[in-house]
Amino acid sequence: MSTLKIRSKKPDDIRGLVTLRLLIRKLVRRGLSILSARGFHHHNDFDEATVVPEDVKEGHFAVFAVKGKEAERFVVKLESLQNPEFLRLLEEAEEEYGFEQKGALALPCRPEELHKILENRREKNSSNNNINLTVIQGY
């Protein structure tokens, strides 16, 4: 396995990379657990399209905003992992649920709060002439 060399010394960059690494590890474990539950034991035995929902395009991942009985599914860009407000939600999820969550990644916030965080980031990026639209799909 190759190692990733980090050149940036910024704490937010390092924290973001660590969070990304943990998220990827969780997503891989989740994918493998789905395969195991379906009776697949070797990577060559499956089609990747059966693991990832059709609406989750490359460069995106799905999360649930969950607060009380409110829950909504969002499909967000990986670039959201650079958003300090989104990273705060991931840290809160770690504290509340741990990294051994079963099922989809749940964020402890109301759907409106997550929508606002993602929308604020999109508007900020658009105002800097760096258009970066975040894809959101709610259920």
Assess if residue 5 is contained within a domain.
no
Does residue 74 belong to any structural domain of this protein?
yes
Q: What is the pTM of this model?
A: 0.54
Q: Domains in the chain: how many in total?
A: 1
Rounded to whole angstroms, how far apart are CA atoms 73 and 8?
Answer: 33
Which tens digit of pLDDT belongs to each residue from 111-136? Answer: 999 999 999 877 776 665 444 444 45
Confidence band for 45, pLDDT divided at 50, 70 and 90: very low
Q: What is the pLDDT of residues 1-37, one digit of tens each?
A: 445 454 555 666 777 777 887 877 777 666 655 555 5
Residue 138 lies inside a defined structural domain of this protein: no
What does the alpha-carbon distance between residue 32 and residue 55 come to, in Å, rounded to a whole number? 19
**Chain Cα centroid distance, residue 12:** 17
Query: Which pLDDT does position 130 carry in this prediction?
Result: 46
User: Is 17 inside any structural domain?
Assistant: yes
Decide if 6 is inside a domain: no
Range of the domain at 34: 11-127
Asked whether residue 1 is domain-assigned, the answer is no
Say which DSSP state 57 is in. -
Cα pseudo-dihedral 99, 62, 85, 133, rounded to 10: 160
**Three-class secondary structure of residue 79 per DSSP:** helix
Is 59 a domain residue?
Answer: yes
In a domain, residue 68? The reply is yes
- Mean pLDDT, residues 72-80: 91
